Structure 1
């Protein structure tokens, strides 16, 4: 199998490293410093799966025009805000790709890929909770995984050999992947979880750059705010006909937050926060990190869909709307 990853950032590099290590022919398209380091010294994979340097089965280029041959799968790994430019720069690949999927956290990624390819039948649904952080050129930290870290499926819910084959390839590489007949729900539920976490953390903690995700969860007011955001994004998710499943257990607690009364839900949130602190978990959402780094955020891809869908369904989401407005003001002054 040959796989091209358009966007060799943290997550793209993790997938590329794990797949190449298993013997898959991988081409990464990334930024010059990262590509140069990979070509000189290999791709260094750090983190929860140990330390490895991958040199075999791995090609790194800065421009899609430098790729060679045809690819069974293209994986889109750039930020949602960069999709249009990245795909436009990869037009030479459109007729050389059999299947395309995206790592991104948004609900338009499949449509964007279909429009780019000119053929919606080439696009499959994908969702992952694998974590990757670039620690420098040629170095990526695989800092997150789960018992089932990824889901894949045809967008119409049908079964197919291509989905089964790709799932087997990912599983063989150690990326635990499950084939789903409801991949649309999986993608919406993940976005629900991310919108909850991102909107809450920025609106709670952005004034203090030393605070991480758990610091506000252990406070009553922080837990109450977390629950308020959760209730609203869940109201939209459920109004679409979905029931929370906790696909990304144990980090997902949407079922509990939906079913428990306020007091029990708040206790659950504070307990999660305390467990994070006790375990030394000191991280933030990527949207929160982007703001602290002075980068434009993906707020219009993460929170705005819930506001738009709420309007469509006749629901009120005032807390989510307030979070969105706060982040949009901050985003306006970022580059």
Structure 2
């Protein structure tokens, strides 16, 4: 077995948790029953790697078989790095008629016209998402399967989700994407996160977004903490109003699990006691970042509990209303950024 395949096997075994390996190998379907049972009985990562290397030699498995194994794991466990959302714009008349076979053939063809050395694997998920794995090379080097780009696209929608994409690769990917989907342009959606399902649901409005008109009573837990009936009557209406405004801003159902929101400030410095800064022609720049394991639920709870003031500022409610978590704020008001920096994970 050549060195590239060995490194790919080592990387796969290192990434896939031992408890998930059995199920993943079964879905892969390239092991005999005896080989599967032998792998199930091994516990250490080193021994699992050596055993899979021997099986690959015995079964004469190629790189394409190993990349299939990686795709199976990624599709079942998509929260493997930072995902960035993009939107295709200006669809052609036939954009809604592109089927999977057309898309696969044309995407591979267009990308290979742009990149001489590239490996592309496309697979449709059970939730109708089209998953694309791209291993990039160049004129002088073969595709690097250790640093692939993953792309998720739902046909007949303008939304594309990407992870592990460099700034050099981005123009080539989206030129192939817009040509194969019959759109004219692409733009950053200014939405990113480690939970692919969350940013997809937020951008595509797939979560239960309920904005109730009126809540008849405050939360049950809040009633239980107040024993004095006079205090209870005084607190009931403000508590209900806070909950009302929190749900109007963020919705009443379960919210997508977003980890962060970034606000880039580009405003004039205003402080009459500091004339030196006030006279600056350049705007005052800084970045504010909110982080949480579940940011939207945290913001909603802060508003409903009274920790944050209500009504909720549009800067925070815009996360759900606009489906973005990256904003640029200028003196003219909040607006989406025109570009979002890509990072390679």
TM-score tier by shorter-chain length is: under 0.3
> Higher helix share goes to which structure?
1
With the length of structure 1 as denominator, give the TM-score of the two structures: 0.25
Q: Whose radius of gyration is greater, 1 or 2? A: 2
After TM superposition, the score normalised by the length of structure 2 is 0.24
